[in-house]
Amino acid sequence: MWPGSPLHEEPAIAGARRRETLDSPMTRQYVVEGRVQGIGFRDFVRRIARQNGVRGWVRNREDGRVEAVATADAEALERFEADLRTGSPLSRIESVDTSDLDETPFTEFEIRR
C-alpha cells in the first residue's frame, strides 16, 4: 500500500478506529451455572458491575442458573466477565455462557426478581 491509495490507512486513523470500537458500548448476556442461587450471588454481580462501570440487570432463572445482561465498553465487560467466572466466596461457578446482544441503554445495574 502507498499513501493515498484506497486501501492505505494512516496509523493514527487506524488507532482511533480501534479505540472507538473498544470505547463503544456493547451489550452481552451472561448465563452462569453452578451454585449461584440462595447465596447472595445477585448482590455480588450487582457489586462487580458497579465497580466495573457496567449497566444492566441480573436475575435468578427458574432452571437454577443466574442470568445477567450488561452494557459497557469492551474492556469493562472483560473485567466483569472475569469477575463472574471467579465468582463470590460462597459460589461455585461451573460455566458462564455468553452471547452478544444489540446494545440496550441502561442507566444503572439492578437486581430483577
Q: Containing domain of residue 66, as a range?
A: 27-112
* Tens digits of residue pLDDT in 6-54: 555 555 544 444 444 557 899 999 999 999 999 999 999 999 999 999 9
Asked whether residue 5 is domain-assigned, the answer is no
Residue 92, in any domain of the structure: yes
Is the model's pLDDT at 89 over the cut of 60? yes
In a domain, 21, yes or no: no
Q: Among residues 28, 42, 46, 55, which one is catalytic?
A: 42
Q: Quick check: is 17 in a domain? A: no
Question: Is 95 inside any structural domain?
Answer: yes
Q: Is 20 a domain residue?
A: no
Q: Is residue 72 over pLDDT 90?
A: yes
Stated as kind and residue range, the H or E segment containing 95 is: strand 92-101
- Looking up residue 68, the CATH number of its domain turns out to be 3.30.70.100
Decide: 73 and 5 in contact? Cβ < 8 Å.
no
Does residue 104 fall inside a structural domain?
yes
User: How many independent structural domains does the chain possess?
Assistant: 1
Catalytic pick among 35, 59, 60, 79:
60
pLDDT of residue 70: 98
pLDDT surpassing 60 at residue 4:
no
Say whether 60 is catalytic.
yes
- The three grid cell numbers given for residue 56, joined into one nine-digit string: 444492566
